[in-house]
Each structure stands twice: as C-alpha cells, then as structure tokens.
Amino acid sequence: MSDFSPGQRWISDGEAELGLGTILNCDNRSVTVLFGASQETRTYSSRQAPLTRVVFGSGDRIQSTDGWHLIVDDSKEANGLITYIGENEQGELCELPEAKLADTMQFDQARDRLLTGQVDRNDWFDLRFRTLHHHHRVEQNPALGLAGPRVDLIPHQLYIADEVARRPSPRVLLADEVGLGKTIEAGLILHRLLLTGRAERALILVPASLTHQWLVELLRRFSLEVTLLDEQQSLAHGDANPFEAGQLILASQDWLFADPHRQAQAEACDWDLLIVDEAHHLEWSEERVGPGYACVERLAGSVPGILLLTATPEQMGQESHFTRLRLLDPDRYHSLADFQEEERHYIEVAEAIDALERLPGQEEDRQRVAAVIHEADSQALLDTLASSESDAAQRDAARDQLRDQLLDRHGTGRVMFRNSRRHVGGFPERRLHVDHLEPPAAYRRVLRRLSRDEDYLDELLIESGLDHPEVLVYLDTMYRALANDPLNAEPWWQIDPRVTWLLERLTELGDDKVLVIAHDRETAIGLSEGLRVLGGMHAPVFHEGLSLVERDRAAAAFADEEEGCQVLVCSEIGSEGRNFQFCHHLVMFDLPLHPDQLEQRIGRLDRIGQRHPIEMHVPVFTDSPGERLLRWYRDGMDAFSAPHGLGSDIYAAFGDALADALLDEEALEEVIDETRSFFESRLAERDAGRNRLLELNACRHERAEAVISSIHELDTDRALRRYIDQALDIFGVDSQDLGGDIQLLQPSPQMLDGLPGLVKGEEGFSATFSRERALARDDVQHLSWEHPLTREMMARILEGSMGNTALALLKHPSIPGGRLMAELVFRTHCPAPKRLHLNRFLPPTAVRVLLDESGANLTDKISFSGLSKNLNKVKKAVARDLIKSRHDQLRELLDRAETEAERELPSIVEAAQDRMRTALDAELARLEALARRNPSVREDELTALRDERATLDAAIEGTRLRLDAVRVIVTVDEDSR
Ligand SMILES: Nc1ncnc2c1ncn2[C@@H]1O[C@H](COP(=O)(O)OP(=O)(O)OP(=O)(O)O)[C@@H](O)[C@H]1O
C-alpha cells in the first residue's frame, strides 16, 4: 500500500526551498506533488520519492493559509490526514487540518529541518561548525582586509591603510612621493572598507591613460572586480543611470569631467568612497575653477569617504593644494592665510618632538616641549618624563605617548600623508648622463638670430604660434611649426642629431629596456618614425592621441619580457602614474618646464620594485635653452638626484626669471644662484618643520609593525590550509598539487555553482598560500582567509542552511548501543547596520551544547573534534527513520539545549561590550583631546564616533542566541555493522 494520501503535506528533500507540498494524487507507481508557493508540480516514483512527511509536534508554531498561527499541543489523524490542535495567538483553542497549512512555510531552520527529517551530510555539519569558529577568529583580527591583497608588507603603506580605514569617514590626501605606492594604499583602504562592511560602493576617477592599469591592479592585487565605465558602455544603459551598473565603478576623469550630464548621473548615486588619482590636476584659483575640481567638489558634498592621490600636491600651486585640502575638510581649511600661518609653527613642534628624545636632560628641552603643549594630560606626561623620580619604563611610556599627542594634535597628519624615499629607504641610486650635441643648422640659425636680435623672439612667437618659453626649449616643435619655411622641408627627425644619438645609445644598451619621454606628442610620433626609418627599429608610441586600447597595447608590447620591444616612446602623459619599473634606463629626449613634472617622469622607473640604479640619459644641444634648463634643474635644485617636494615653490618663485634667462648666459647664472640659495634655505626649513612632521606622522613604526604581525598571524595560520582543503572537497572543487606550494583548483562535475573564478567545464586557477610565491608569479593567486573563494564558501555556509542538520553513529566501547545524543550549535544574532562593522567586537559566536538522552550536559566533557573523529556516517533514509522514531525525545532535547545555551549568553555579551568600550572609548578620548588642539578633527567625526558607540552598545545588548545547527548522534554497539 502507498505511504501517500492526497491532501497530505510533504517536503522535497533536495529542494526544500519549494516550500510545503501537497499530494495531489498517488498510486503504487507514482506520486504527484503540488508545491503551491513556487507553483511547481513534481511527479516521483512512489517507491523512491525524495520526500519527507511533515509532521509537527507539541510546541511547534505553525501557520495557516489565512496567515494566523497556532502553537501545536496535540494532533489527531483520520484517513491518513492530520489535524493539529492547539492555541491561536488569542489563546483560543483551535484546529488546523494539514491541508490548510501555508504553502510558504519554510524549513531551512535547523530545528524544522531536523524534525521534518531533512539531514545533511555529516562532514557538512563539521564544516559548518569549523566555519563559524574560524570566521569568529578572523573577523576579530585587527588586520582584516589588509591580509588578503597580493602585496609586499611595506610598513608605511600598511600604517596609512590601517590609520585611514579605521576612521568613520576617511577623507585624506595620500601624497607619498612618486612611486611609493599610493595606488596600493588606496586599494588597501578600499579592500578593508569593503571587507568590514564599512563601504559597499566606490567611484574611482583616474586619468584616461591609467584606467587599464588601475583595473588590472585592483583585480590582480586585490581580487576586486570593478566596472570600467566609458561613454560607449554608458550608452548601452539607455535611460538608466550607468553609474548604477556596479558597486565599484572606475571611470576616466577626462571623460567624466567633460560631460555635465554624466556628472549629474554620477552625483545622483550613493557612494561610500570616492578615489581620485593624480589629484593635482584638480585645479582651483580665484580666476578659474577647473571642471575636475568643480565635479569632485560636488561629489565631495555627499560622499562620506574621499581619497585624493597625488605625489606632487603643490604642482598647480599652493592655492590649489589648499583648496583640495578644503575639499576634504571645509570646516578645517577655511582660510589660506591661517593655513600658511600654522605652517610657520611646524618647526617648533618638530623641535619639541626631537627634544623629547633628550629628556630628562636640559631644562631648555623641557621648556621647548612645554611651549607647544597646552592640555593637562600632556603636561602630566611631560612632568613624568622630566622628573628624576620616574623610572626608565615610566619615562619611555610617557615619551611615546607625548610624541603621539604632539604629532596628532599639531600636524597636518590627520588629513595628509606623505612618505618620502629618504624616510622609507632602500631605493636605488639615480645617475644622470648628459650628452652634449651640436644643434643642426636649422635650429642653430634660429638660436643665433635670437641671440643677436632681441625683437626676433616676439616675431618667432607670432610666426610659430607657440608659447614662451616652449618655443625655445622644444626646438623640434618650433621647427615643425615653421614648416612653411622652405629650409624646414625635411622631417625634423631627419635633421635632429638626437635621433641618431638615441639609436647609438640603444645599440650600446643591448637588450636593456629604455623608456623615452618627450614633451610633445608630435615629437614622440616623429621620433618613433625616425627610429624605424633610420635604424630599422620598432618603437611603439604612447600618447594622448591614441585610444585607450592602443595605449595599453603599446605599454604591453614594451612590458613583455621575452618578446617585447626594447623601447617605448611616450609623450608627457606617459610620465604620470604608469608602472615602468621593470626598466631602468630613462631617456629624457627633452626636459619638462615644471620641476614636479620632471619628478613625475623619473618616478616611472624609480618606484617600488625597481632593482637597479636609475640611468637617466639626457641629450642637450650645446649652448641652447634646453641645456640651460638642464643646468637650472641640476645646479639650482639637484632635481635629478632625489625628490625634494619644492618644485612648485621654486617654479612660482623663479619660473618667469628662468624663462627670461634661457637666452642669456649671465642672467642664467644669477637665476641658478638664487634658485640654489632659495632651494637650500627652503629645504632646510621644510625638513625642520613640515617635512619632519609629515615624515613622523606618515608612518608610526610600532603601529605598522603591529599590523604586519597580525597579517603574519593570518598568513601562517595552519588552520587555513586544513579548512580550505575540507571546504574545497565539500564544494566539489578538485585541488591538484603542482609542486612548489602551488595548487591547481579546478571545478569537478559535482561542483556547487557560483564559486568565484570557477566555472564548470572551464579551467580553474592556480593558487598558493605563500605570499612570496603569489608576489613572484602573476598567474598564481594568493589563497587566504580573504580570498573571494574562501569568503564565498564561508558566506554560503553561514548564510544558508548547508550542514545545519546531521545524524551520525557513534561506536564506543564504553557506551552501549541505542542511546541518543544531541550536539547543538547556537549562534549569536545581533542585527546592526553593516557599516558599524560590529563583527570586530562580536562576530557570530558559536555556543556548543552536547546533551545525552537524559538531558545531561556533556559539553565540557567531550570536545567537538574528540567526538567528531569517532563518528560514522549513515544513509539518509536510515537517518530519517531514526529521527522519526525519536521525534518527541529530540524535541525535548532541543528545548533543553536552548536553556543550557542561554546561560552562556551574558558572558558573551559582557565580553563584547568590554571590547567595544575599550576600543571606542580610547579612540573617543584621543579624538576629543585632538579636537581641543587641532581643528583638523571634524566635529562630525566626533559625533559619528559617539553615535557609533551608542548604536553598538544597544545592538550588543540586544544579542540573542539562535539554534544554528544540530547533529543527532545515535550510539551503536561495537560489533554492529
Ligand atoms: N606593497 C607592494 N607590494 C608590491 N608591489 C607594490 C607595493 N607597493 C607598490 N608596489 C608597486 O610599485 C609600483 C608603484 O606603486 P603605485 O603605483 O601604487 O605608486 P604611486 O605612489 O601611486 O605612484 P605615482 O606617484 O607614480 O602615481 C606599482 O607597480 C605597484 O604595483
């Protein structure tokens, strides 16, 4: 006879999400079920139907099709159909026939699934428990979000990322010297904010020439997939806002800043973070507000987090620099005059910090410190430090704290971070090679006339249509501009000896790669042609006239180690942001006019990862304006030896005088002398004041070391390998050892769908747990707790029902067969807005309870792993029968376990509150003290932190425990099969 009767309620074992099914008809061969909630009908063979009868017992809460609920007290059966008896919400006694049960009732909770006989594999349960355990650990690691990216652990970057990402709304200027890793810092901050839930949507605006590089860096180093938006992509979205097309949008500044409609669309979206690279281009002055500045300013009005990146913050002048700071914090930076006045006192603060190191000692050192501190807490620390009664440990602690306070309260550190090569160390030497060439007749003619005839310059400017002093410095440009002159009929590269000079250099350098930068796009194009025609050399060009794809193709052709070209010829756009540190020869075919631009050029090669001295080759024409410009750079400010950060000040002070001196040897000597003394005194002043504070603040080594050590802890976590192996196995991912600590991960035919980077029928990817290997091999991913695959597997388990029920057999010589045990895992539940990152204080926490059938609590006596390794799996059908036969007993155990688990809750809540209060109270105290002294602490930062504390407090207070998973254990006799 069939087990089924029409009207009975069953659920599908494999597709529980279909909801509650109703038997429509059945005979000896088949049974047809309607799943009303999902409007699906299924027909199964009667003998092997993967269905479980839904039977509720006393205490269960069930729902009727009309929406009312009943707490089951009893049931009766007639003609194979059950009617439940119990109380409704009003306390009235009611009956609910099973046919009237709501189709939408879900059975994904552990209790329901277990009691309806749905059991998962035993190893899934195991993995679920371990996932909770590891998730709990990892979420609290202070380096969360910084450990996964495939980057070297460079202290100044990690310090900045840690410091900035912990702020409620990070708004900072990342202004490390060129090539020290601002992109990496921004990536780390973004990654951490995303992983901790503090940000979900980010807009990244970069110069067009850098879009692809950013796209690749974010994917390769941070496993972040961003949507690259351009006009073509945007058009494909029709009337919809294209900026809603993804969570992380990357767009070119050139495109967005030129299009008011697209800007309005970008502004209409909700962003958590805005990143703007090469932010010195955001130009502002009384007379003119650049479109980029205007656009970013509007966005900055509503986006809470902003990262502006530039190596040369003052390139467009101090006013522009100040207005960018104002954009980050309008309350703090409201007056340029105040800003400049404040800067004048940086030296005193820096001297006070130095004096700390000498205390206790001279009275004048104590006074120096006393003169800059104002708060009672700082005064108390100074007393401790200066007192002869303090012991060494007390003094050291006071010195450290006071140093931190001075830096925090008096510098620009909270808004601007600037690391320098000098401070970071380990960078290669820069070597300048200048070759003097005779100018060709066509250039000589013009230069000679210029030196004889004072009026000729004006004539030349009109005739060529060029600006002063460009017309003097870029002689090939001038030559092309005068193309109507019959004497200038030949292409410039035919007559310009720098082309053959370059060919000779390239031959001498053999296989070494050479980056060539020229100021003008036409120069780059002509030079490439000249190299081809005169030397048979293929030299790809990189300039603003090419499409993005063409530019990237050219850069890729150069970068290819095996088959790539020896040389790449760039116009000035190749001198910003690009990574060319795989080569160490830079040819400056001519020189830029702004010292910051020169620094940007050298920075293409002189960046993290460069392993050789930088060889800079500059051809100049004897006695030419170009040669004089070189001398100004070299003798006036040592511009070729190291970055000095004074380019903008020097340019503002001497740019005009230099332009006038380019044709006048005597005047030039004077300009060089004046530039030199200005440079030296300004540098000394900066080094003693602003630079010193910026350096001290840009990387606090103890903090950086603490972050690095937390990352090491995650990197070397042996549990990670075990966990990933187990998870891959369960999710159906094959892992093959390729040697050298590298494994190939491939989808098996049984793989669960939707795992990142793995698609059935496709190849998969190779990965390693070793950071060093991942850094050495671009094609190998870094497997960590933060890798998208790990996170996805963990999320699936934690958010879904996978493994939340199981049944296993236990054979043990000292335990007789036929006994029942229940192992229950409860999980803390504490809803709070994601952006509060509550997990750092109270990540979902597991409370395990192990009961024997009498209800005795065995949790402390038998550990999870001790028990787990003695368990044997059992067929699902057998498991279902066992559960059915022990239904009432299980129900009682579930209730009892809940009471046992609840006992643990107060201590969990208390510990979390302690953690939260300790961390936030300290942060609040620090910020309040800072705010009293340093107006760069915004009031809204303080308010946000106070609100955060209050909300977290309430959320933690409201923590509840929920049953997350349950495993039934049935003991069997040793000799039973
Ligand atoms: N921690 C790191 N690990 C590995 N590579 C790094 C790290 N930091 C920086 N790099 C590499 O060094 C180069 C320079 O870094 P990045 O582009 O972030 O510098 P930047 O300061 O933004 O440069 P620029 O001033 O030219 O814009 C890049 O190729 C980057 O990938």
Q: Which of 269, 304, 333 is the last residue of a domain?
A: 333
Within-domain flag for 463 = no
Q: Are residues 100 and 191 in the same domain?
A: no
Torsion of CA 419, 424, 429, 430, to 10 degrees: 0
Give the total residue count for the chain. 977
752 φ/ψ angles, rounded to the nearest 5 degrees: -70, 135
Residues 840 and 932 in one domain: yes
- Distance (Å) from CA 51 to ligand 1 centroid: 58
Task: Provide the pLDDT for residue 284.
Answer: 84
* Å from CA of 510 to ligand 1 middle: 28
What are the phi and psi torsion angles at 436 (to 5°)? -95, 130
Using the predicted structure, report yes or no on whether residue 413 has a pLDDT greater than 80: no
Whether 437 shows a pLDDT value over 80: the answer reads yes
Q: What is the mean pLDDT of residues 382-406?
A: 82
Ligand 1 pocket: which of 182, 315, 607 to mutate (most atoms <8 Å of CB)? 607
pLDDT of residue 408: 65
Shared domain for 816 and 772, answered yes or no, is no
Supply the ipTM of this predicted assembly.
Answer: 0.98
Q: Is residue 887 part of a domain?
A: yes
Ligand 1 atom closest to the CA of 180, numbered from 1: 21
Strand-pair partners of 309: 174
| Segment 311-321, tens digit of pLDDT | 888 877 778 88
> What's the rounded mean pLDDT across residues 516-528?
96
User: Does 164 lie in the same domain as 309?
Assistant: yes
Q: What is the mean pLDDT of residues 532-537?
A: 94
Averaged pLDDT of the chain: 89
Asked if the bond preceding 749 is cis, omega within 30° of 0, the reply is: no
- Residue with CA nearest ligand 1 atom 23: 179
- Whether residues 723 and 590 fall in one domain: no
Q: Which CATH number characterizes residue 507's domain?
A: 3.40.50.300
Q: List, in order, residues 6 or more apart from 481 with CB less than 8 Å away.
A: 463, 464, 465, 466, 471
Which pLDDT score, from 0 to 100, does residue 688 have? Answer: 80
* 369 and 434 housed in the same domain: no
- The amino acid that residue 904 corresponds to is E
Question: Is the CB of 504 within 6 Å of ligand 1?
Answer: no
User: Using a 6 Å cutoff on CB, does residue 152 contact ligand 1?
Assistant: yes
Q: Which helix (H) or strand (E) holds 909?
A: helix 905-933
The token pair that represents 2 in the structure block: 């069939």
Q: Is residue 309 assigned to a domain?
A: yes
179 lines ligand 1 (CB under 6 A): yes
Based on the domain organization, do 160 and 85 belong to the same domain?
Answer: no
Q: Is the CB of 149 under 6 A from ligand 1?
A: no
Q: For ligand 1, is residue 601 a contact (CB within 6 Å)?
A: no
**Helix %, strand %, coil % for the chain, to 5?**
50, 20, 35
User: Does some domain include residue 250?
Assistant: yes
3-state DSSP call for residue 644?
coil
On whether 873 is known to bind a ligand per the annotation, the reply is no
Ligand 1 atom nearest residue 174's Cα: 21
Cα separation, 282 vs 70, in Å, equals 65
Q: Are residues 364 and 328 in the same domain?
A: no
Question: 777 and 873 share a domain?
Answer: no
Q: How large is the greatest C-alpha to C-alpha distance in the chain, in angstroms?
A: 119
Distance 581 CA to ligand 1 centre (A): 10
| Atom 30 of ligand 1, residue of closest alpha carbon | 181
Confirm whether 924 is domain-assigned: yes
- The alpha carbon of 591 and the centre of ligand 1 are apart by a number of angstroms equal to 24
Output the domain CATH number for residue 36.
Answer: 2.30.30.930
DSSP, res 418: -
Q: Is the CB of 608 under 6 A from ligand 1?
A: yes
Q: Which long-range contacts (CB under 8 A, 24 or more apart) does 65-74 make?
A: 65/100, 65/101, 65/102, 65/103, 66/100, 67/102, 70/94, 70/96
Distance 212 CA to ligand 1 centre (A): 15
> pLDDT tens digits, residue range 264-323?
999 999 999 999 999 998 888 878 889 999 999 999 999 999 999 998 888 777 788 888
**Is 183 near ligand 1, meaning CB less than 6 Å away?**
yes
User: Which of 107, 140, 168 corresponds to the end of one domain?
Assistant: 107
- Point out the least confidently predicted range of 126-130, 457-461, 522-526, 773-777: 773-777
Between the CA of 179 and the centroid of ligand 1 the distance, in Å, is: 5
Q: How many domains does the chain have?
A: 6
CA 607 / ligand 1 centre spacing (Å)? 7
Ligand 1 lined by 607 (C-beta under 6 Å): yes
Task: Examine residue 867 and state whether it is found in any structural domain, yes or no.
Answer: yes
44 forms bridges with which residues in the sheet?
A: 31
What is the domain-level CATH number for residue 759?
3.30.360.80
Is the CB–ligand 1 distance for residue 778 below 6 Å? no
Burial of 137 (0-12, 13-18, 19+ CB in 10 A): middle
- Residues 352, 251 share a domain: no
Nearest to 437 by CA among 591, 624, 669, 570: 624
302 lies in which domain range?
Answer: 155-333
Q: Which two tokens mark 505?
A: 């250099």
What is the mean predicted confidence (pLDDT) over 138-146? 93
pLDDT value at residue 936 = 53
Query: How much distance in Å is there from the Cα of 779 to the middle of ligand 1?
Result: 19
Determine, yes or no, domain membership for 445.
Answer: no
263: domain CATH number? 3.40.50.10810
List the strands of the sheet with 30-35, edge to edge.
40-45, 30-35, 21-26, 9-12, 51-53
- Asked if 255 contacts 235 with a C-beta cutoff of 8 angstroms, the reply is no
pLDDT at 189 exceeding the cut of 60: yes
pLDDT score for 344? 78
How many angstroms does the Cα of residue 417 sit away from the middle of ligand 1? 15
Pick from 146, 184, 583, 584 the residue to mutate for probing ligand 1's pocket: most ligand atoms within 8 Å of its CB: 184
Looking at the structure, do residues 819 and 753 belong to the same domain, yes or no? no
Last residue of a domain, one of 298, 333, 368: 333
Determine if ligand 1 sits within 6 Å of the CB of residue 154: yes
CA-to-CA separations, 144 to 537, 784, 792, 891, in angstroms, rounded = 50, 11, 16, 40
Instruction: Indicate which residue's Cα is closest to atom 13 of ligand 1.
Output: 608
- Is 179 annotated in a binding site? The answer is yes
pLDDT in tens, 578-587: 888 889 999 9
Structural domain includes residue 684:
no
Q: What is the pLDDT of residue 1?
A: 43
Q: Is the CB of 180 under 6 A from ligand 1?
A: yes
- CA 621 to the chain's CA centroid: 47
Q: Is the pLDDT of residue 824 over 70?
A: yes
Distance 185 CA to ligand 1 centre (A): 9
Mapped to the 3 state alphabet, what secondary structure does 692-713 carry?
A: HHHHHHHCCHHHHHHHHHHHHH
* Residue 98 shares a structural domain with residue 190: no
Query: Is 176 within any annotated ligand binding site?
Result: yes
Instruction: Report the pLDDT value the prediction gives residue 701, as an integer from 0 to 100.
Output: 85
Task: Select from 367, 321, 356, 359 the least CA-distant residue to 340.
Answer: 321
Answer yes or no: are the C-beta atoms of 402 and 587 closer than 8 Å: no
Q: What is the mean pLDDT of residues 375-398?
A: 82
Residue 926 has pLDDT above 90, yes or no: no
Q: Decide if pLDDT at 539 tops 90.
A: yes
